[in-house]
Structure 1
Amino acid sequence: MNYTLHQLQIFLKITELQSITKASEELHLTQPAVSIQLKNFQDQFPIPLTEVVGRRLFITDFGKEIAQAAERILNQVQEINYRTMAYQGKLSGRLKISVVSTGKYVMPYFMSDFMAEHTGVDLIMDVTNKTKVVRSLELNEVDFALVSVLPDKLKVDGVELMPNKLFYLSNYDRELPKSPSKKHLFERTPLIYREPGSATRNAMEGFIEKNNFKVNKTMELTSNEAVKQAVIAGLGCSIMPLIGNKNALRNKDLKIIPVKGLPIITNWNLIWLQSKNLSPAAVAFLEYLRERKESIIKEKFDWISDFG
C-alpha cells in the first residue's frame, strides 16, 4: 500500500458528499483530478470502495470502513501539526461553531480578525436551524453555538454579542394603505414563513398568536435568503431579522412597515455547555470577544441604528 494523505483527504470528502463533482468543488480541484486520485486510491484495494448505480455514486460497506480509518489518520496528522505549533509558542487547534442561519450574517465579523491573528487555528462553522444547532451543542459536537433564543433545557454559559431585531418587511413597490390595519397586514396579505425549527419562525408565530391574528394565506421557505428573495419578488410579506437585509433596504428593494409591537428584539448569544472543557483556542477566542466585541459592533454593525 502506498496511498497518500492527499488521497485520504479526497476519499473522505467523496464519502461525505457522495459526489465527485461536489467533492472537487469543495476541495478546489478539477473533477478529472479528483477522479484520477480516487482511481489511484481504489487500485490499492482488492475490494471496491464505491459503486455507481443509475449515475449515482454509493460508498460500499468496505469503503465506509476505510473512510472511518482515513478520518482517524487525518485527525492524528492534524494533532501532530497542532502540537508542533504549540511547541513553537503558537496558538493552535480547532474551533467548531454551530450557527443559526441568520447568524451567518453576524458570526464571521466576530471571527475574521481572530483567525487572521492565529493562523494555527482551524475553523469549522456549521450553519443550520435552531433545532439542529441546539442538538449539536447538547451532543457536545461543537465548542460554541450562536443563537438568538437561549435553550431552556441546557445548562449553558454565554457571551451576549448584539441585539437581533425583527421587523415586518414588504417589497418596496407593494401598495399598502397609509396606515395599514393589522387585519390587512396579517389576514389579507400573504405571509412567508421560515421552516419549523427556525427561531425566526418561532418569533413570528409567537407575535401572531399573542395578537390573535388570523393568517389565511402562507408560504414556507427553508432559508432567510429564500424568504428575502420571495418578499422582494412580491410573493408576500414576512417578519424578518434586520441582519442580512441591509443592502435590500438601502437599495429600496424592501421596506419596513411600522407595526405596533415590532420590532421583536432578542440578542445574539455565543453559548457553550457549562460542563464543557474548553480548549486553549476556545478560551483565547472568548478572551478576544470580551476585549473586542464592542469595537467590532461599532465598526461593522453601526448601520443598524439607521433602521430603528
Structure 2
Amino acid sequence: MDLRQISFRLLEVFMSVVKSGSISETARRLHLTQPTVSLQIKRLQETVAEPLFYTYQQRLHPTDAGMRLFQTCQQVFGHFEDYQGYLDELRGGERGHCRIAMVNTAQYILPKLYGPFSATHPNVEMHVEVGNRAHVLSRFERGEDDLYVFSHPPTLEHAQAARFLKNPLVFIAPKGHPLSQSSGLNLADVVKYRFLLRESGSATRMLFESELQSRGLVLSNSVKMASNEAIREAVSAGMGVAVLSEHVLGQDQSNIVKLDVSDTHLASHWYFVVRTDRHISHSAKSFLRFATSHLERYLDSPWTENELHRLNVTEQQP
C-alpha cells in the first residue's frame, strides 16, 4: 500500500460511507457528487488492494479489511482531535468532544451527571446517542463513541466495565388491578396476567426471562412495546402489568402500583464501558473523572456503587 496516494479527505469520504452505508448519503453529507464519492472509494480500494465493502440489503457494509481500516482511521483522526484540544488548552481553554452511547433506560440517569459536567465545562461538546441494546452494541463494535452505558456490559476482551449505580427492577400494575391490593405475591401469581415487554435483547427482558426459565414459568399473554415510556403509559392506562427499572417510573405514579412480589428480587447494575483498544478523548476522560468524584452528589445516593476508579482512563494524565 502506497501511503502517498492516501489523503485525509479520501479517508474522510471512506469513513462517511462506512457510517452511512450509502454513496448517495455520503455525497449529500460532504457536498460532493455521487460519481466523485464512488471514484474516491475506487481509488482507495485500488491503493489498499483489497475490497473494502460488500453490498447487503441495498446497503454498503465494510469487509474485514474495510473495518480494520475504519478503526485505524478513527485512531488517526482521534489523535489529531486530541492535538487540536491540546493546542486549545495551551490557549487557556477546555475544549473537545465527549461521545456517549447509552441504552434507553440510562437516559433517565445520565443527564444528572453530564448536566452538571457541562455547566462546569462549557466548551466541551457532549454528543449523546440513545438506543436499544442492539443499537448501542453495534456502535460499540464499530467503536463510534468514547463511553458506553449498559446494564449488562458486553463480555469482550477489549471491553472494560465499571459499575456506578444499582438498577433495581420492580413489578408494576395499574391502580385497580386485581393484584394491586395483594401482598406477599408469588411470581407464579403475576405471570397469569398480560405482560408488557420490551423487544428481545433488552437487558431487562433478558433478566426477567432468565428468572422465568429458572423457575419453569411461562407467560400466558404478552405484548411487545417499543420503549420504557410506552410500557409505563400502557400500564397506567390499564393495558397490563410489567417489570421496569425503578429509575424509569418517575415522580408521577398516581395511576401505577408497585406489586409486592415477595419471592422475586430482580436487579442489575449500570456500568460505564470503554474499549481498551480505542483512543479515548481527553474530554471523555475528564467526564469520567468528574463522575468518579461527584457520583454520590448528583445521583440518588442509596443506589450508587462507585467503582469507576477501576477504569484506567480515569487516571489523571501528566
TM-score for the superposition, normalised by structure 1? 0.69
Mapping for residues 66-215 of structure 1, pairs under 5 Å? 66-69=28-31, 85-176=88-179, 178-179=182-183, 180-187=185-192, 189-215=193-219
Q: Is the 8 A contact 1:101 1:128 kept in 2?
A: yes
| Superposed counterparts of 1:218-297, under 5 Å | 218-249=222-253, 252-297=254-299
Q: Which amino acid aligns with 2:27?
A: E
Q: Are the aligned partners of 2:166 and 2:303 in contact in 1 as well (CA < 8 Å)?
A: no
The CA distance in 2 between the partners of 1:280 and 1:288, in whole Å, is 12
SS of the aligned residue for 2:107 comes to helix
- Large movers: runs of 4+ above 4 Å: 60-64, 78-84, 302-305
Query: Could you tell me whether the CA contact under 8 Å between 1:167 and 1:257 is conserved in 2?
Result: yes
CA drift at 1:62: 6.1
Query: What one-letter code is carried by the residue in structure 2 that aligns with 1:182?
Result: L
The 3 A distance-change label for structure 1 pair 304 and 253 is farther
Counterpart contact for 2:98–2:126, Cα < 8 Å? yes
* Paired residue total: 235
Q: Which moved more, 1:270-279 or 1:150-159?
A: 150-159
Aligned AA for 1:222?
Answer: A
Candidates 65, 87, 98, aligned match of 2:27: 65
Aligned equivalent of 1:12:
none
Q: Offset of 1:304 from its aligned partner?
A: 6.7
CA distance in 1, matches of 2:303, 2:172: 15
Q: Structure 2 stretches of 5 or more lacking a match?
A: 1-21, 33-76, 305-318
Q: Which runs of 5+ in 1 are unaligned?
A: 1-59
Shift of 1:174: 1.2
Aligned mates of 2:267, 2:26 — CA distance in 1: 46
Give the residue type in structure 2 aligned to 1:291: S
Are the aligned partners of 1:170 and 1:238 in contact in 2 as well (CA < 8 Å)? yes
Give how far 1:246 is off: 3.0
Tell me: CA distance 1:261–1:149, structure 2 relative to 1, closer, same or farther (3 Å).
farther
Per the TM alignment, residue 165 of structure 1 is displaced from its structure 2 partner at its CA by: 0.6
For 1:218 and 1:61, the matched residues in 2 are separated by 41
SS in 2 for 1:174: coil
Q: Deviations over 1:7-50 (max 9, x none)?
A: xxxxxxxxxxxxxxxxxxxxxxxxxxxxxxxxxxxxxxxxxxxx
* CA distance in 2 between partners of 1:164 and 1:206 (Å): 17
What is the alpha-carbon root mean square deviation over aligned residues? Answer: 2.8
Secondary structure of the 1:173 match is coil
Distance in 2, matches of 1:192 and 1:114, equals 36
- Give the aligned residue type for 1:116: A
Distance (whole Å) between structure 2 residues aligned to residue 260 and residue 153 of structure 1: 35
Alignment match, 1:216 = 220
Question: SS of the residue aligned with 1:114?
Answer: helix
Identity level (%): 21
Structure 1's 62 and 142: CA in aligned 2 closer, same or farther, altered over 3 A? closer
CA, structure 1 residues 69+87, in 2 after alignment: closer, same or farther (shift >3 Å)? farther
Do the aligned partners of residues 209 and 61 (structure 1) sit closer, same or farther apart at CA in structure 2, a change above 3 Å counting? closer
